[in-house]
Copies of this chain bind each other. A is one copy, B any other.
Amino acid sequence: MESTKKYNILKINGENKNMVEDIVVLEYPFTIFIDDEEIITLLCSPKSLKYLAIGFLYSEGFIEDYSVIDNIRIDEDEGRAYIRLKVGKTINEKLQRKRTIASSGGKGTAFYNVLDFLKSRKIVEPLNISIYETKKLMEIFSKSSDLFYATGGVHACAICNNNSIIYFEEDIGRHNALDKVLGKALVENMDLKDKLVLISGRISSEMLIKAVKRGITVIVSKSAPTSLAVHMARELNIVLIGFVRGEKMNIYSSFSSLKF
């Protein structure tokens, strides 16, 4: 399915006004069902929907591993994922409780439980990466986003090793883009301890938590981190790098892990 849609719009430029065909980024409602129970409707870009479903369910704690899934069927026309769990498997019980206190756009008490959990997993040795490699990766990453250049309205995420991009995904939502690359890695059973994640948008605490839960130790963004993300990165000894633009970058944590 296309990730954009064409509309006739009125373009104004000073005194000129013209009706022209323009490209708008698609916003696609995508509903996930597990064993016939409706879990959520995500508003997303209609690519890599299987990875989005798996990544979302893992990030939010509905499943603890890909192995619990018997099969997943995507109906693109209806915008639905139908997931069957293996016999005897159920979605996380605690999550059922969490869902009654969390609503869209925020977190319930579970947010604080996650923090406690992560503290127990402080990184002893983050991936070794150099400033030069980081800069080179961000250059490749920045050139990879066709959809952004077409519409100005998407976020991108990538999983990389020290010198190349392994997975690259785009979505209208920052969280969805990250869930897609992490979901793909989960489906393909990729070890992420020696990988880093590149993010086009801001790094909030929730973005950092998603990556850390999967074992990522280096997070690199073109944009700004929040205070809570910096705080957590320092607590957990994650390498957090922001504002990677041309020859410049800001390193927010784990300074000694970087090679120059």
Interface residues of A in 176-196 (CB under 8 A from B): 176
Minimum distance in angstroms from A1 CB to a CB of chain B: 12
Closest B residue, CB atoms, query A5: B227
Interface residues of A in 13-36 (CB under 8 A from B): 13-14, 17, 22, 24-29
> Any chain B CB within 8 A of the CB of A255?
yes
The main secondary structure of chain A at its interface with chain B is: mixed
Contacts of A60 in B (CB 8 A): 103-105
For A251, give its contact among B9, B102, B103, B258 (CB under 8 Å). B9
> Any chain B CB within 8 A of the CB of A252?
yes
Contacts of A103 in B (CB 8 A): 39-40, 60, 98-99, 102-104
Distance A249 CA – B111 CA, assembled complex (angstroms): 40
Closest B residue, CB atoms, query A4: B227
> Any chain B CB within 8 A of the CB of A133?
no
Interface residues of A in 209-260 (CB under 8 A from B): 223-230, 243, 247-252, 255, 258, 260
B41 pairs with A106, CB closer than 8 A: yes
Distance A105 CA – B252 CA, assembled complex (angstroms): 26
> Any chain B CB within 8 A of the CB of A109?
yes
B107 pairs with A107, CB closer than 8 A: no
Distance A60 CA – B223 CA, assembled complex (angstroms): 29
Tell me whether A101 and B40 are in contact in the complex, defined as CB-CB below 8 angstroms, given that A22-B250, A226-B27 are known contacts.
yes
A residues whose Cβ falls under 8 Å from a Cβ of B: 4-5, 7, 9-14, 17, 22, 24-29, 38-43, 56, 60, 98-109, 111-112, 131, 151-153, 172-173, 175-176, 202, 204-206, 223-230, 243, 247-252, 255, 258, 260
